[in-house]
Amino acid sequence: MLTLHHHPMSAASRFIRLVLGEYGERVELVEERPWQRRQEFLALNPAATLPVLVEDNGPAIVGGTVAAEYLDETRGAFQRERRLLAEKPGERAEIRRLTEWFLGKMDGEVTRYLVRERVFKLEMRAEEGGGPPDASAIRAARLNLKNHMRYVGWLAESRNWLSGTRLSYADLAAAAAVSILDYLGEVAWDEEPLAKEWYMRMKSRPSFRPFLAERVRGIPPVAHYGELDF
């Protein structure tokens, strides 16, 4: 039995949900608000970051990239052509580079800021860091987002999937981040038609379906969010 501590607006959490969906694994979801520093959650992960995966009563598997490695070792390795991490070390390194790009670099430059300012601050109490959104942080993140979407478009142009010829963790990591930004209406799809074409393919996968119906309290998604052809 797999349990995932997650938040719907955490890109790394969505990434692991996509991986589990692709591998046909059932998972019990526990929603966490990391800023509340719940004791039982801190005992699982003193860094208070998401996601945290637990299998049966095993040790906590902490973080998106660490959980993805665990799932490759315990599931992916037996999936043959549906494996989401390549076989060759050089190709695996490229998939991991891009996964880190979308869950690390893009998260630190775009996703985390926009989610914090536009979503989490509404729910946080003042002593947890709540309050009005910081307009300059939002502006900087939006500017960075343009570069990241250009990079997605460039990858989609040069390759069939973002890391090469096959669907991989790189696509799932990118789609996880982009789906959150799309929910918030932050993506200028007209500017990046190739990124849009790639994202439509991602959106139509069964693993993606749960996201399309998911709603964040108090924040309705952009009008086209649930549409496969937008």
List residues binding a copy of itself (CB under 8 A). Answer: 46-47, 49, 58-63, 65-67, 69-70, 73-74, 89-90, 92-94, 96-97, 100-101, 104-105, 151
The residues, any chain, with a CB within 8 Å of residue 65's CB and separated by 6 or more, are: 12, 96, 99, 100, 103
Q: In terms of CB distance, is 98 or 115 closer to a copy of itself? A: 98
Q: In terms of CB distance, is 12 or 216 closer to a copy of itself? A: 12
Q: In terms of CB distance, is 21 or 63 closer to a copy of itself? A: 63
* Cβ at position 57, least distance to a copy of itself in Å: 11
Rounded Cα gap, residues 162 and 41, in angstroms: 34
* Cβ at position 188, least distance to a copy of itself in Å: 21
Q: In terms of CB distance, is 104 or 226 closer to a copy of itself? A: 104
Contact 50, 88 (CB under 8 A): no
Burial class of residue 205 in the structure, from the number of CB atoms within 10 Å of its CB (0-12 exposed, 13-18 middle, 19+ buried): middle
* Cβ at position 111, least distance to a copy of itself in Å: 16
Contact 173, 15 (CB under 8 A): yes
Contact 183, 216 (CB under 8 A): yes
Q: In terms of CB distance, is 141 or 216 closer to a copy of itself? A: 141
DSSP letter at 79 equals -
Tell me which residue of 113, 109, 103 sits closest to 51, measured CA to CA.
103
* Cβ at position 187, least distance to a copy of itself in Å: 21
* Cβ at position 11, least distance to a copy of itself in Å: 15
